[in-house]
Amino acid sequence: MTDTLDIRRRKARFRSWHRGMREADLIMGGFADAQIAALNEAEMAQYEGLLDVPDADLIRWVTGELPVPDVHDTPLFRKIASFAGAGRS
């Protein structure tokens, strides 16, 4: 199981830095570099779901320009937003 989770982490880290929009790369890639090794299986599933979100939406959620949909408004997302410096309240 750990090997599978490690593979998922490596793939997610790569995807985090290759999203398309540089701003999204910096948000997700920076977070992945610093925190992905600590994510458990449930958090990895949430993170992988966020990797499927269009860059423009993700950036607007992180900056607070748009409300975060309930499905993505998780402690993990708030951790990412805080890490990005936007800090959600």
The enclosing domain of 45 has a CATH number of 1.10.150.250
Percent of the chain with pLDDT over 90: 90
Global model pTM greater than 0.85: yes
In-domain check, residue 89? no
In-domain check, residue 77? yes
Size (the chain), residues: 89
Amino acid identity of residue 61, one-letter, is W
Whole-angstrom distance, CA of residue 55 vs CA of residue 34: 20
Amino acid identity of residue 22, one-letter, is R
Q: Number of folded domains in the chain?
A: 1
Q: What share of the chain is helix, strand, coil (3-state, %, to 5)?
A: 70, 0, 30
In-domain check, residue 21? yes
In-domain check, residue 88? no
User: Which tens digits make up the pLDDT trace of 59-72?
Assistant: 999 999 999 999 99
Encoded tokens for 65: 């320009």
Whole-angstrom distance, CA of residue 6 vs CA of residue 62: 26
In-domain check, residue 17? yes
Say whether 80 sits in a helix, a strand or coil: helix
Q: Which domain holds residue 38?
A: 2-83
